[in-house]
Each structure stands twice: as C-alpha cells, then as structure tokens.
Amino acid sequence: MNLILIGAQGSGKGTQAQLLADELRLKPTASGELLRAAIAKGTPAGKAAQPYYDRGDLVPDEIVVQMILEDLENLDGAHGIILDGFPRTIPQARALDQRLSERGQRIDYVIYLDVPKDILAERLAGRYVCTAYGHVWNIRTRPTRVPGICDYDHSPLVQRSDDTPEKIARRLDIFFHETIHLLDYYRSQGKLIRVDGTRSVEDVNRAILATLLPHGVAPSPQDEQGAGN
C-alpha cells in the first residue's frame, strides 16, 4: 500500500504522515527532511539544493526526484510507503509513477489535507521542530508538555529557517499556484481523497483512517485500540 499526503505548509501533513506510518506500518519519506539532512551533511545534492531551499523556492525536479527514488529503494520491512512533500510538481509525479510501475507497484491513495490559507499562515508562525528528529510541534495548536522541549525525545525545539514571514508567504504561494495542480492529476486517476485539515491532530487522523477503511486499509491490530480512543 502506497500513500501520498498532499497539503500546504502548515496543513499538518508531517504530523499525520508520522502517525499513519506507525498505524499502517508504512515507511515515511519526507522530501523536506531528506533535503535538510543533505544540506546539513553538505553532500553534492545538498549543496545544489541549498540556494533554492533558503529562498523558499522549489528545488529543481532532477535533484529531488533522484533523492526520493533512492530512498524508496529500501522499504526497511515496511508494508509500503507514505510520501510527505513529494511529489510537488507534475514531472515529479510522473517520475514517481514510472519508477513504481517498473517495480509492478503504484500509488494507491492520495490524501489532500485541505486547510484555508489564513489558518496556514497562523499555524506556521507558531511552528517549532525538535533538533533531534524534526518532530513537529506548535505553540498554539500542539504545544509540548514542557515549553521548548520535545515530548518524544527531550531535544530542544527550534524554528525552521524557512518559517520566516516572507518565506512562508512565498512557499504558500508556490503551493497554491503549482502544487495544487497535482490534485487534478490524482483526481483524474480516481485516487484523491480530500480531508478537512482544520480539526485537531487526533480528529484529522481519525478522519483519514475512516476514509481509508472502506478501501480495505486498516491499522495493524496492536494499534487499533489506541486509534479508536
């Protein structure tokens, strides 16, 4: 089972991808995380990507596609993949479809987390990530128990370098002008599922699982109890 989560920055797709990966035993792959790791390590791809990343622009397709397809080579024992932040352009979507079909696989469902632009801007301004694993928190909508410290791994929280007001505006603009076309691409393939992303993390997670259930997708047994509470 292979899923894609599409949503603007601040729609909660990173958080939902982490939850769904655990519940459905999928390997999570976040293009933004892979890029941040490559930039931090100073790999050739990271160096090429950095100027685009720093401006809040899309990194060229060939760099991102190569990085993602390499990451998908090894499923680490998972039942499939859940992609977060990729694809963001039609050429990326086509490259992904082609690679999966070469392996006799395909994307099964694409979940669009729908959140209006004004709510997104407000959420992004309050967003913090942990320095150890990039777990995402929000001082307004998803605070940690101890301010400034990740609940999961106790590492300090920081604001992302591209979460400044100008870069947020630029990234949202790109999403609503460019990435939004992917919805038509996947709608025409009959794979698109729209979920209202304005509700709480738990409610959105429940809504996603509820929409997948009629398609035969259910959490693995040991997670079912937690998901139902």
Give catalytic residues, as residue numbers. Answer: 13, 88, 127, 160, 171
- Judged by DSSP in three states, 177 sits in helix
Which lies closer to ligand AMP via its Cβ, residue 87 or residue 219? 87
How many residues are present in the chain? 229
> In angstroms, rounded to a whole number, what is the distance separating the alpha carbons of residues 10 and 18?
15
Residue type, 119: I
Q: Which residues of 195-204 are buried (b: 16+ CB within 10 A; e: fewer)?
A: bebbeebeeb
Stretch that binds ligand AMP, among 15-23, 56-64, 101-109, 114-122 (CB under 6 A): 56-64
Is residue 138 within the footprint of ligand AMP (CB under 6 A)? Answer: no
> In angstroms, rounded to a whole number, what is the distance separating the alpha carbons of residues 23 and 30?
17
Which lies closer to ligand AMP via its Cβ, residue 35 or residue 217? 35
List the one residue from 6, 38, 45, 88 that touches ligand AMP (CB under 6 A): 88
Is residue 81 within the footprint of ligand AMP (CB under 6 A)? Answer: no
Number of shown-chain residues binding ligand AMP (CB under 6 A): 18
List the one residue from 85, 120, 150, 157 that touches ligand AMP (CB under 6 A): 85
Residue nearest to ligand AMP (CB): 32
Tokens 């693995």, residue?
A: 220
Tokens 């894609």, residue?
A: 4
Is residue 162 within the footprint of ligand AMP (CB under 6 A)? Answer: yes
User: 221 with 118: CB under 8 angstroms?
Assistant: no
Residue type, 32: G
- Omega before residue 87 within 30° of 0, cis: yes
Which lies closer to ligand AMP via its Cβ, residue 47 or residue 79? 47
Stretch that binds ligand AMP, among 55-63, 148-156, 180-188, 214-222 (CB under 6 A): 55-63
**Which residues of this protein are in contact with ligand AMP, per CB under 6 A?**
9, 31-32, 35, 52-53, 56-59, 64, 85-88, 92, 162, 171
